[in-house]
Amino acid sequence: MIDNREISLSEPVFMGNEWKYVKDCLDSGWVSSVGKYVKLFERKVADYVGSRYAVSTVNGTAAIHTALMIAGVSAGDMVVVPTLSFIATVNPVIYCGAIPVFVDSEQETLNMDPGKAVDSIKKLAKKGTRPKAIIITHLYGYPCNVDPILDVARQYGIVVIEDACESLGSKYKGKMTGTLGDIGCLSFNGNKIITTGGGGILLTDDKYYEKKAKYITTQARDHTVEYIHKEIGYNYRMTNLQAALGLAQIEQLRTILKKKREIADYYRRNLAEIPGIRFVYEKPWVESNFWLNTILLEEDQSIVDKTCLRNRLRKLDIATRPIFRPIHLQRCYRRYRHDDLKVAEMLYNRGLNLPSSMNITRRELKRVTEALKTLCLKDWKYPPLGLEGRFALG
């Protein structure tokens, strides 16, 4: 029976001290943002990634918002961002009243194209403007090729913020993502590689950033006893309950990463011979956490084919997800000007995330690859223009 359950995209697994630590919180009465687990979790994450400081937040979006604020981004400033990402990468730019400058993607990694990011910054410099910050993502765990971006950012004095919400445990040239720029942001939402239910962390080596992040996320309180505030702050701190769950989860991270790599390697081996599909894999100089595995349909495939394939897999109880819709195409971002972003659009038309849960079984993996083999060798390429096609284009 168990073999025929729906194969999910990514679900959390609690196999360690989760119950024990959360119960300890409840027993101690320390459930809110004061309590030993917050500090323990922050220290554990900081040590794991090799960052001097870690400041926990209510979620990853709040971590990115805080990162922009402590980087000094304010109304009218420009912030360079990838267009192919979850919308939470860019929404905090708007929260600050700043202007997103969208950059196209690189086919190989799905991330911001470093050459195009450099061009974009140089073009702005020629016009006498300089972005205040740049946000780099590591989509689905695949590390971005950051060196050229770090170089140009140093040259022009631009703060580098990493949205590493999907890439805890991924490495670029041996160094953990989230520690490559000036400030890194992690998310512990339920679908991420480890979870606190909802939560985030801001990483930095800079004492000033750390102090400022703690200050802003605790209502900018200037005195520990008296209620004195010079600035507008936010209630963005993580609770002890969340941190307790997180501490138990990060203890499992090595096991999770090992399993994720096995899943990716299985897909790589077994999808290789299927015509019309390319499996995205890590480049030799990086190490992905393989949070979600991605396939790209070949060039001549359209969004209709992708949606059709997805619907047919769903009928076989196999959950997949289209890759993110480029942010410049979202209605709320259409008014921001941008250059040609054709690679991101093309990737969106062709990309699908495959089931990647840590608890997926060998048999289930086989079910997924066998289904893909059958469907891709059959007639799914030219579906009748029924609901599935219209849904995708609408």
Ligand X SMILES: *Cc1c(COP(=O)(O)O)cnc(C)c1O
Q: Which of 10, 105, 145, 187 binds ligand X (CB under 6 A)?
A: 187
The rounded distance, in Å, linking the Cα atoms of 374 and 156 is 52
Within residues 205-244, the interface with ligand X by CB under 6 A covers none
- Stretch of residues binding ligand X (CB under 6 A), selected from 53-61, 269-277, 315-323, 329-337: 53-61
- H/E stretch holding 54 reads strand 53-57
Reading the block at residue 213, the tokens are 């992040």
- Stretch of residues binding ligand X (CB under 6 A), selected from 97-105, 160-168, 242-250, 339-347: 160-168
Q: Of the candidates 370, 378, 377, which has an alpha carbon nearest to the alpha carbon of residue 354?
A: 370
Within residues 114-143, the interface with ligand X by CB under 6 A covers 137
Place of tokens 């979202």: 330
Handedness of CA 59, 62, 67, 70 (dihedral sign): negative
Q: Of the candidates 271, 274, 293, which has an alpha carbon nearest to the alpha carbon of residue 381?
A: 274
x/- track of binding to ligand X for residues 13-52 (CB under 6 A) = ----------------------------------------
Q: Of the candidates 268, 374, 273, 377, which has an alpha carbon nearest to the alpha carbon of residue 318?
A: 374
Q: How far is the CB of 324 from ligand X (least distance, A)?
A: 8
167 lies in the site for ligand X, by CB under 6 A? no
Q: How far is the CB of 299 from ligand X (least distance, A)?
A: 26
CA 303 to chain centre: 23
- Stretch of residues binding ligand X (CB under 6 A), selected from 34-42, 115-123, 159-167, 245-253: 159-167
x/- track of binding to ligand X for residues 58-97 (CB under 6 A) = -xxx-----------------------xx-xx--------
Within residues 188-207, the interface with ligand X by CB under 6 A covers 189, 200
Cβ closer to ligand X: 166 or 305? 166
Q: How far is the CB of 187 from ligand X (least distance, A)?
A: 3
Q: How far is the CB of 362 from ligand X (least distance, A)?
A: 28
163 lies in the site for ligand X, by CB under 6 A? yes
Q: Of the candidates 58, 106, 65, 119, which has an alpha carbon nearest to the alpha carbon of residue 88?
A: 65
Cβ closer to ligand X: 195 or 301? 195
The rounded distance, in Å, linking the Cα atoms of 206 and 22 is 31
166 lies in the site for ligand X, by CB under 6 A? yes
- What b-and-e string marks burial along 199-226, b requiring 16 or more CB atoms within 10 Å of the CB? bbbbbbeeeebbebbbbbbebeeeeeee
CA 391 to chain centre: 26
Backbone angles phi, psi at 262, to 5 degrees: -60, -40
**Judged by CB under 6 A, how many residues of this single chain contact ligand X?**
14
Cβ closer to ligand X: 104 or 166? 166
Q: Of the candidates 96, 30, 46, which has an alpha carbon nearest to the alpha carbon of residue 242?
A: 30
294 lies in the site for ligand X, by CB under 6 A? no
Q: Which residue is nearest to ligand X (CB)?
A: 60
Within residues 249-278, the interface with ligand X by CB under 6 A covers none
Q: Of the candidates 305, 339, 269, 382, which has an alpha carbon nearest to the alpha carbon of residue 101?
A: 339
Cβ closer to ligand X: 244 or 327? 327
Cβ closer to ligand X: 111 or 301? 111
Q: Of the candidates 4, 1, 10, which has an alpha carbon nearest to the alpha carbon of residue 371?
A: 4
- Stretch of residues binding ligand X (CB under 6 A), selected from 5-13, 56-64, 262-270, 382-390: 56-64
- H/E stretch holding 201 reads strand 200-204
Q: How far is the CB of 189 from ligand X (least distance, A)?
A: 4
Q: How far is the CB of 202 from ligand X (least distance, A)?
A: 12
- Stretch of residues binding ligand X (CB under 6 A), selected from 163-171, 331-339, 359-367, 370-378: 163-171
- Stretch of residues binding ligand X (CB under 6 A), selected from 57-65, 228-236, 314-322, 333-341: 57-65
327, 83 contact by CB (below 8 A)? yes
The rounded distance, in Å, linking the Cα atoms of 172 and 177 is 6
Rule CB under 6 A: which residues touch ligand X?
Answer: 59-61, 85-86, 88-89, 137, 163, 165-166, 187, 189, 200
